[in-house]
């Protein structure tokens, strides 16, 4: 009955202590309210009337009416809270993902690309108020998803990113340049690229430094991530006859000097991810560094629920009065 109902003045429920006091007073004065007559015998009288036995019903009705009034004074009400948020500092983010064959290396589990997809999905989930786009690159690059606020599209596109869509190789300059191209017309207050690679720039017709200069020109901050363990990793080295990869141990080579330089000139940071846990920590760190400012407005609407209790109390009092002046008139 009272689910979802709050009381504005719950302290008034202490008045309910008047009810047991009223009951005690009623029974204490019960006999005084009855007229008495001493006679030698009651053989001439018939059995007592039923209504005389239920006369306390009138007192019960008054008590219930009093209880209803007290509950009404406590002001039962329902509360509806609505929240509206306003993004005061929006961020547009492009995630540039290396999809070369080396991303199938198994130093991260189950492999680098799968580990990245999982961590990137969690990162996207934590950015509900930002627009995000995806760029994939290997020997060349392309836009997988333009910047959008529709996270379902971004999630779906992220799951679809895989090796084999592009010519093999690592064109860091191409990946960065395509990401800049996606953000250069953005009106967002802050524009960010998260560029991940596990190798050395060896493809493409745009130099990484040229792409970094473009990012600076359009005021785009770039965070770079080098992905791969220290030392050797089990990496695809050739194809088998059935078309699957032959794996072998290969030295992990990441151009950290280049990645650090890109991050430094664009105002970002360079990170090195050597395992799944470190990769997750890096994306969490970037999430903390790039905060979207949100202004929250809360609206509370109260709806009073005391009226039914007042009507109930009035109804009980009217019923008590009606019974008193009709059925119980001869016994009062």
The pLDDT value given to residue 301: 80
Percent of the chain clearing pLDDT 70 (strictly above): 86
Query: Does position 184 have pLDDT exceeding 70, yes or no?
Result: yes
More confident residue, 159 or 29: 159
State the pLDDT confidence band at 50, using cuts at 50, 70 and 90: low
Query: Does position 297 have pLDDT exceeding 70, yes or no?
Result: no
Query: Does position 45 have pLDDT exceeding 50, yes or no?
Result: no
The pLDDT value given to residue 299: 74
Average pLDDT, the chain: 86
State the pLDDT confidence band at 47, using cuts at 50, 70 and 90: very low
The first and second tokens of residue 227, run together, are: 């992905």
pLDDT (tens digit per residue) in 208-243: 999 999 999 999 999 999 999 999 999 998 888 887
pLDDT (tens digit per residue) in 82-129: 766 665 567 999 999 999 999 999 999 999 999 999 999 999 999 988
The pLDDT value given to residue 175: 97
The pLDDT value given to residue 248: 93
State the pLDDT confidence band at 25, using cuts at 50, 70 and 90: confident
* Domains detected in the chain: 5-30+47-81+301-331 (no CATH), 91-291 (3.40.50.410)
Mean predicted confidence (pLDDT) in 144-159: 95
Most confident stretch, 45-59, 218-232, 283-297: 218-232
The pLDDT value given to residue 41: 52
More confident residue, 10 or 193: 193
More confident residue, 194 or 302: 194
Query: Does position 327 have pLDDT exceeding 90, yes or no?
Result: no
Query: Does position 8 have pLDDT exceeding 90, yes or no?
Result: no
The pLDDT value given to residue 36: 53
The pLDDT value given to residue 191: 95
pTM: predicted TM-score of the whole model, two decimal places: 0.65
């Amino acid at each position: 009955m009272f689910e979802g109902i709050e009381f504005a003045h719950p302290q008034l429920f202490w008045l309910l202590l008047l009810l047991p006091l009223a009951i005690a007073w009623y029974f204490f004065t019960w006999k005084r309210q009855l007229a008495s007559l001493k006679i030698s015998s009651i053989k001439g009288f018939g059995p007592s009337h039923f209504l005389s036995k239920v006369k306390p019903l009138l007192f019960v009705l008054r008590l219930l009416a009093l209880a209803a009034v007290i509950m009404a004074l406590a002001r039962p009400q329902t509360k509806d809270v609505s929240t509206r948020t306003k993004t005061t500092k929006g961020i547009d983010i492009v995630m540039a993902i290396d999809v070369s064959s080396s991303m199938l290396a198994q130093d991260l589990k189950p492999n680098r690309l799968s580990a990245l997809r999982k961590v990137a999905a969690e990162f996207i989930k934590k950015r509900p108020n930002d627009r995000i786009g995806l760029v994939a690159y290997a020997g060349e690059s392309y836009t997988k998803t333009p910047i959008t606020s529709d996270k379902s599209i971004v999630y779906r596109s992220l799951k679809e990113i895989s090796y084999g869509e592009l010519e093999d190789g690592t064109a860091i300059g191409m990946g960065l340049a395509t990401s800049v191209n996606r953000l250069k017309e953005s009106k967002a207050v802050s524009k960010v690229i998260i560029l991940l690679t596990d190798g050395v720039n060896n493809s493409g017709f745009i130099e990484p430094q040229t792409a970094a200069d473009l990012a600076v020109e359009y005021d785009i901050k770039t965070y770079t991530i080098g992905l791969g363990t220290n030392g050797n990793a089990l990496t695809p080295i050739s194809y088998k006859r059935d078309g699957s990869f032959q794996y072998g141990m290969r030295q992990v080579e990441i151009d950290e000097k280049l990645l650090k330089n890109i991050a430094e000139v664009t105002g970002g940071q360079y990170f090195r991810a050597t395992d799944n846990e470190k990769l997750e920590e890096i994306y969490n760190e970037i999430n903390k560094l790039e905060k979207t400012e949100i202004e929250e407005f809360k609206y509370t609407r109260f709806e009073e629920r005391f009226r039914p209790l007042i009507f109930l109390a009035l109804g009980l009092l009217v019923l008590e009065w009606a019974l008193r002046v009709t059925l119980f008139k001869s016994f009062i």
